[in-house]
Amino acid sequence: MILNLDFNSDKSIYTQICDEIVKAIAKGNLKIDESLPSVRSMAETIGVNLHTVNKSYNALKEEGFLNIDRRKGAVVATLPMKEGNETLEKSKLDLELLIARCYLSGMSKEDFLDLSSKLFDSYEVKYHE
Amino acid sequence: MILNLDFNSDKSIYTQICDEIVKAIAKGNLKIDESLPSVRSMAETIGVNLHTVNKSYNALKEEGFLNIDRRKGAVVATLPMKEGNETLEKSKLDLELLIARCYLSGMSKEDFLDLSSKLFDSYEVKYHE
Amino acid sequence: MILNLDFNSDKSIYTQICDEIVKAIAKGNLKIDESLPSVRSMAETIGVNLHTVNKSYNALKEEGFLNIDRRKGAVVATLPMKEGNETLEKSKLDLELLIARCYLSGMSKEDFLDLSSKLFDSYEVKYHE
Amino acid sequence: MILNLDFNSDKSIYTQICDEIVKAIAKGNLKIDESLPSVRSMAETIGVNLHTVNKSYNALKEEGFLNIDRRKGAVVATLPMKEGNETLEKSKLDLELLIARCYLSGMSKEDFLDLSSKLFDSYEVKYHE
DNA sequence: GTGGTCTAGACCACG
DNA sequence: GTGGTCTAGACCACA
């Protein structure tokens, strides 16, 4: 379980941990029902406070990506998640802003769709393999 | 100059102001070289402290979306911005994460590309009219 | 951490703080990865508001001299910085003007180069020791 | 009399005007005893307020670069200026900081001295021609 | 305890 | 009138 963290980032560490785990799940590096490292070992591995990892796991549980099991610890929840969830709605709003920034930065619609398609495939393929 | 703010959001106010302005520019509601309200009047309009607005304007100046003219205040910078800017690079990383969340939330690639295309058009059309 | 400030100067205090820190790093008084005092303690030490120190730290972060680590506060960034950075480009423009003033003030090219060489050595030596 | 101004710069406009004139003198584009445009015409030419140009001329007079003559307006003062003037002392302090920034930005001593030498020559040659 | 954010109020340089 | 700077005091998220 290798997480790519930047302690100098503006993003909080616990948010970075969440994001890395979400990407790991999407890429298939973490399978459904697979257990994540314990809060304690994860914290030691990446060199952060125990509470920080704990906060990440709980946040992902709230989002529906993880289940917290007393015996197995944090496990990847069954996916795909149900329709109409908050994450998806929030993501759509984020997308509106993201596209505005890309557009103003001079990115063409074609480039954006190509990149999106490529990124989607990188998840699609691995997840179903 | 109407900004859609949510004071209960977990997003900071100054970030929301930035985001709203970016979208306004992309939508063509703010034209190139157009002056924004002064920090004081904007602050009064939306009911926040002038320092908060000031921070937003300066952040957008750093991103290259605004210029701070000593005579005319904040004005919309000339676009499209030059290639290789930080905003675009950061947006691409954000996109990777955003797509991961959408994918895991059960959104299909087609739906994502359709939505993206629609959002892009909403900017493309108005901006060049 | 002693900073040489002049509250009567026409230079803003936060700029003076920035400049003093830059010189301290160049002189080797601040080593790479070394933590700076917290904004609060620094502010108390030099007798200014904590926001003023905070502004300095953030400005130096933008320039690439400091990193803001969410655990250790402000730390000296790894150097030397990458080529093509803005600071260097801006410095070259400043140099053009500075030399014009020195030249018109009657300073000879030899004196200027000698002084520059001496200043450069004062950094070079200490930094690599 | 063409001045290169940036209204979006952090530098105040009157400072930019001063700097441009100093460089023009050093480059020999403005000769000793040569008259500068009147405050009024200069202001109109570069599109700024009359007071702004006036402030620049007066600042340069304080520095010793210009003389204000009732009949001929602002004229370039006799150079080189006397030793021990404030401008030179201030420039030396500026140089210390400038070199610190260049050094930390990865510029080598040789490159710095070469650039300085080249800039000095660009003044030296033209001024005595 | 740390920085991040926000508010409130003030003075000043600039234009 | 504009933004820039500084002060003072407060709350909060993060680690």
Among B61, B65, B66, B71, the residue to mutate for chain D (most D Cβ within 10 A):
B71
Assess whether pLDDT exceeds 60 at residue D126. Answer: no
Which residues, in sequence order, are CB contacts of D51 under 8 Å at separation 6+?
none
Q: Do chains B and D touch (3 or more CB pairs under 8 A)?
A: yes
User: What torsion do the CA atoms of C70, C71, C74, C80 make, to the nearest 10 degrees?
Assistant: -90
At CA B129, angle to CA B127 and CA B62, rounded to 5?
20
- Are B123 and A97 in contact by the 8 Å Cβ rule? The answer is no
- C-alpha–C-alpha distance, residues C96 and C88, integer Å: 13
- Three-class secondary structure of residue B76 per DSSP: strand
Quick: pLDDT tens for C19-62: 999 999 999 999 999 999 999 999 999 999 999 999 999 999 99
Work out if D52's Cβ lies within 7 angstroms of strand E.
yes
Q: Which residue has the higher pLDDT, C53 or D71?
A: C53
Which among C65, C102, C127 is the nearest to D88, CB-wise? C102
How far is A14 from chain C, CA to nearest CA, in Å?
11
ω before B80 within 30° of 0 (cis)? Answer: yes
Q: Do the Cβ atoms of B127 and A103 come within 8 Å? A: yes
Work out if C68's Cβ lies within 7 angstroms of strand E.
yes
How far is A71 from chain C, CA to nearest CA, in Å?
32
- What is the pLDDT of chain D when averaged over all its residues? 92
Work out if D57's Cβ lies within 7 angstroms of strand E.
no
Residue ranges in chain B whose pLDDT is less than 50:
127-129
Among B99, B114, B121, the residue to mutate for chain A (most A Cβ within 10 A):
B99
Residue carrying structure tokens 């709980």? A58
Quick: pLDDT tens for A80-106: 666 568 889 999 999 999 999 999 999
Q: How far is CA B9 from the centre of its chain?
A: 17
Assess whether pLDDT exceeds 50 at residue A127. Answer: no
Assess whether pLDDT exceeds 60 at residue A128. Answer: no
How far is C14 from chain A, CA to nearest CA, in Å?
21
How far is C9 from chain D, CA to nearest CA, in Å?
12
Q: Do the Cβ atoms of C101 and D22 come within 8 Å? A: yes
Q: How far is CA B25 from the centre of its chain?
A: 7
Assess whether pLDDT exceeds 90 at residue A78. Answer: no
- Which structural domains are found in chain D, ordered by start? 13-76 (1.10.10.10), 86-128 (no CATH)
Å separating the CA of residue D6 from the C1' of nucleotide E13: 18
* Residue whose C-alpha is closest to residue C21's, from D11, D106, D101: D101
Q: Which residue has the higher pLDDT, D2 or B25?
A: B25
- What pLDDT score was predicted for residue D84? 65
Work out if C59's Cβ lies within 7 angstroms of strand E.
no
Nucleotides of F under 7 A from a protein CB: 1-10, 13-15
Quick: pLDDT tens for D72-115: 899 999 876 665 688 999 999 999 999 999 999 999 999 999 99
- C-alpha–C-alpha distance, residues D82 and D76, integer Å: 15
Tell me which chain A residue has its CA closest to the CA of residue B66: A104
- C-alpha–C-alpha distance, residues C127 and C119, integer Å: 13
Please tell me the pTM assigned to this model.
0.93
Q: Do the Cβ atoms of A22 and B102 come within 8 Å? A: no
DSSP label at residue C28:
T
Q: Which two tokens stand for residue A50?
A: 């125990």
- What pLDDT score was predicted for residue A13? 97
The helix (H) or strand (E) run that includes residue A43 is helix A39-46
CB pairs under 8 A between A and C: 11
First to last CA, chain C: 20
Q: Do the Cβ atoms of D8 and B71 come within 8 Å? A: no
Q: Which nucleotide is nearest to B10 (CA to C1')?
A: F13
- C-alpha–C-alpha distance, residues C108 and D121, integer Å: 11
